[in-house]
Amino acid sequence: MDTVRVLVVDDEKVIREGVERALGKKGYEVVKAEDGKRGLELLGEHDFDIVLTDLMMPGLDGFAVLEWIRENQPHIQVIVITGFATVTKAVTAMKQGAFDFVGKPFTPDYIRIVVDKAVEKIRMREETERLREEREKGLIAIDKSRSRLKTIFRSMSEAVLITDAHGVVVLHNPAAIRLLEIQTDPVIGKHLADSIHDAAAVSMVTEAISYCKEVSREFTPGAISRKHLRAYCSPVVTEQSKVIGSVTTFLDISAHKEIDRMKSDFVAMVAHELKSPLASVEQMIYALQVGCEYEAQSSCHALHCRMTTRTRDLLRLIDNLLNLSKLESGTVVFNLEPVRGQDIIRDVLEIAAPQAEGKEISIHYEPSAEPWWFNVDYDHMRTAIMNIVSNSIKYTPEKGNIDVSTSFNGGFVNLMVKDTGIGISKDDLPHIFDRFYRVKGKATRHITGSGLGLALVKEVVEAHKGYIEVSSEQERGTTFTLCFPLAGENGTPVADLPKMKP
C-alpha cells in the first residue's frame, strides 16, 4: 500500500481541518467533504482506504455513508466521529461494520493512533491476501513455502505460534518454547491452554478466533516470570470468510520495561531524597534573611537573596521531576472542576509579575468580554500556564513585551502567550517538549533551567484533552498556544463561548 487516502465527512469545518492537520503530519492524503451527499460523490469518483464520518449531519447522516460503504466498498475502514450525546449510536455503527469511533473533542495524537490502527489492519489484510495467493499456486509451491517458512521460523528471535480454529497448536518455532517458557513436550497437537499458563494470552487467541479480529496484549508468561511480552494475534480466514485458525507473534519487551522502571525509580528517588532537606534549607535561609533586613545593601543580604533563588530553583526542578514521574506512571489523580479562565490567568500573571518587573518586561493581558470556563485541575493547570509565562520572561531580553490573549473556536478556547524574545531555531523546535532538552547557544548561555518545564506542560495539557502548538522565529519571538475544550459553569461541555448572564 502506497500513500494512505483518507476521506473526512463532517459538517463542522473545525473538525475537518483539525483531522487534516493531525493526519497531514504523518503523510496521509486527506480529502474533506462537508456533508454525507458530497462524501458519497467523492467515494464514487476516487479510491479511499479510510473514511472518518460524523454520525449526526444534516441530510445524509453517517449511517447512510456507512451503509453505502458496506454495500459498495466494504474494504474501506470506517471510523465514526461522535459527540458525548451519541456514544450509543457510535456503538451501533460499530455493530454495523464501523472499525472504531472517536469522541469529540479529540486530540491530534489520539486521532492519529486510531487511524494508524486502521492502517495496520488494512496492511495485515493485504498480507493475508498475499499469503492466500501463495496458497493457491499448487501443492509443489505449498511444500516449498512450508519449507521456507520452517527455515524462517527456526531463525526468528520473535516467537511465532499458530493454532487451528479450536485453539490447538499446529505449528511453532523454537523461540516460542524459550520466550513463553513452555514446559510441556510436545506442544503441537495440544490445546494452547495446556502449554501456556497465562490466561491473558489464551483469551487473546480465543478472542481473535471468536470475533475474527486482530488482538494485541502485554503479559508475563508465568506467575514468577520476570519477562514482559507483547503479543499480536490475527485470525486466519478462508475465502468463504470462515476462521480456520490464528497466527500469534510474541516480542520480548522486558528490556524496555526494565529501563522504564529504572528511570521512574531514579526520578522518584532523587526527588524524595532531595526535596525535604532543601525545603528545610530554604526555611533557614529565610529566617537569616529576615534577621538582617536592616542591612539591605550589605553583601550578606545579597548573598542570602541568591541562595534563596537557587534553592527555589532546585525545589522547582524536584517538583517538575515528581510531577513528570507521576504523570508518566499514570498515578496522578486530577481533581477536575469548572474553573473560570480569567481567574487562573490573572493568578499566574500576579505570580509572574516580580520576575517580569526585574527585567522591565511589560505583560499585556486583555481578558475576553465574556466569562468562560474549562474543566481542569486548578493547581496542575496553573503550574503548566506558569511554566509557559515564566519561559517567555526568561527568554525575552530586558524591556521586552509579552502578550497574553484568548480566542474561541468550535467549543475550544485558545490561550496564546506571545513574546518578543530570542526565538527558537527550526532545528530545536521539534525537541523543545523532550525531557531535559535545552536550547544551546550564545543567547542562552547564561539562562538557567532544567529542560523539564515544557515536557511537564505537554503532559498536563494532553491529560486535560487539550493540545499545545508553538511557532517561533529567531530574534523575533515565540508564540505558544494552549487549546482546551470549553465548559459551562456546571462543568458540562459547550459548543461555543458561554454567554454572560443578564
CA-closest candidate to residue 251, choices 219, 205, 280: 219
- What pLDDT was estimated at residue 500? 45
| DSSP annotation string for 28-50 | -EEEEESSHHHHHHHHHHS--SE
* Secondary element (H or E) of residue 195: helix 192-195
Give this prediction's pTM: 0.43
Q: Among 3.30.450.40, 3.40.50.10540, 3.30.450.20, 3.90.650.10, name the CATH number for the domain at 140-252.
A: 3.30.450.20
Q: Is the dihedral of CA 125, 129, 135, 141 positive or negative?
A: negative
Q: Which of helix, strand or coil describes residue 130? A: helix
- The domain limits of the chain are 5-131, 140-252, 261-329, 337-485
Backbone angles phi and psi of 101, in degrees to 5:
-140, 155
Number of alpha carbons in the 13 Å side-chain half-sphere of residue 11 = 13
412-419 vs 215-219, strand pairing mode: unpaired
Question: How far apart are the C-alpha atoms of 316 and 399, rounded to whole Å?
Answer: 26
Question: How far apart are the C-alpha atoms of 216 and 229, rounded to whole Å?
Answer: 11
Whole-angstrom CA distances from 75 to 49, 69, 157, 239 are 8, 8, 33, 14
Question: How far apart are the C-alpha atoms of 328 and 319, rounded to whole Å?
Answer: 14
Question: How far apart are the C-alpha atoms of 355 and 46, rounded to whole Å?
Answer: 57
Question: How far apart are the C-alpha atoms of 305 and 173, rounded to whole Å?
Answer: 67
The cell numbers describing 233, all together, are 494475534
Helices 453-463 and 299-329, packing angle to 10 deg: 40
> Are the C-beta atoms of 275 and 318 separated by less than 8 Å?
yes
Region at 258 (left for phi over 0; alpha for psi -120 to 50; beta for the rest): alpha
> Are the C-beta atoms of 81 and 104 separated by less than 8 Å?
yes
> Are the C-beta atoms of 494 and 411 separated by less than 8 Å?
yes
pLDDT in tens, 403-430: 999 999 888 999 999 999 999 888 888 8
At position 155, the amino acid (one-letter code) is S
The cell numbers describing 110, all together, are 489520539
Whole-angstrom CA distances from 166 to 169, 170, 245, 257 are 9, 11, 7, 33
- What pLDDT was estimated at residue 446? 65
Whole-angstrom CA distances from 253 to 174, 177, 225, 267 are 18, 16, 13, 22
- What pLDDT was estimated at residue 288? 67
Distance of alpha carbon 415 from the chain centroid = 20
Distance of alpha carbon 398 from the chain centroid = 37
Q: Is the peptide bond before 105 cis (omega within 30 degrees of 0)?
A: yes
pLDDT tens, N- to C-terminus, the chain (502 residues): 678 889 999 888 888 888 888 888 888 898 998 988 888 989 888 888 999 988 888 888 888 888 898 888 888 889 888 875 566 777 788 888 888 888 887 888 888 888 888 888 888 888 888 877 766 655 455 566 667 767 776 777 778 888 898 888 888 887 787 777 776 667 788 888 887 777 888 888 888 888 888 888 887 766 556 678 888 899 988 888 888 989 888 888 887 777 777 667 666 666 666 666 677 677 767 766 666 655 555 556 665 666 666 676 677 667 767 776 666 666 667 788 999 999 999 999 998 898 899 889 999 998 888 889 999 989 889 989 998 998 899 889 999 999 999 999 888 999 999 999 999 888 888 888 887 677 776 666 666 666 677 888 888 898 888 999 999 998 889 999 999 999 888 878 776 665 544 3
What is the largest distance, in Å, between two alpha-carbon atoms of the chain?
A: 99
The cell numbers describing 272, all together, are 524524595
The alpha carbon torsion through 305, 309, 360, 469 (nearest 10 deg) reads 180
The cell numbers describing 4, all together, are 494512505
Place of cell 455503527: 93
Question: Which fold would CATH assign to domain 337-485?
Answer: Heat Shock Protein 90 (3.30.565)
Number of alpha carbons in the 13 Å side-chain half-sphere of residue 274 = 18
Quick one: 355 exposed, middle or buried, by C-beta within 10 A (0-12, 13-18, 19+)?
Answer: middle
Backbone angles phi and psi of 51, in degrees to 5:
-125, 125
CA-closest candidate to residue 420, choices 432, 402, 405: 402
Backbone angles phi and psi of 465, in degrees to 5:
60, 30
| DSSP annotation string for 394-417 | HTS-TT-EEEEEEEEETTEEEEEE
Question: How far apart are the C-alpha atoms of 252 and 157, rounded to whole Å?
Answer: 9
Backbone angles phi and psi of 220, in degrees to 5:
-110, 140
Indicate the length of the chain as a whole number. Answer: 502
Question: How far apart are the C-alpha atoms of 393 and 391, rounded to whole Å?
Answer: 5
Q: Which CATH class is domain 5-131?
A: alpha beta
> Are the C-beta atoms of 464 and 376 separated by less than 8 Å?
yes
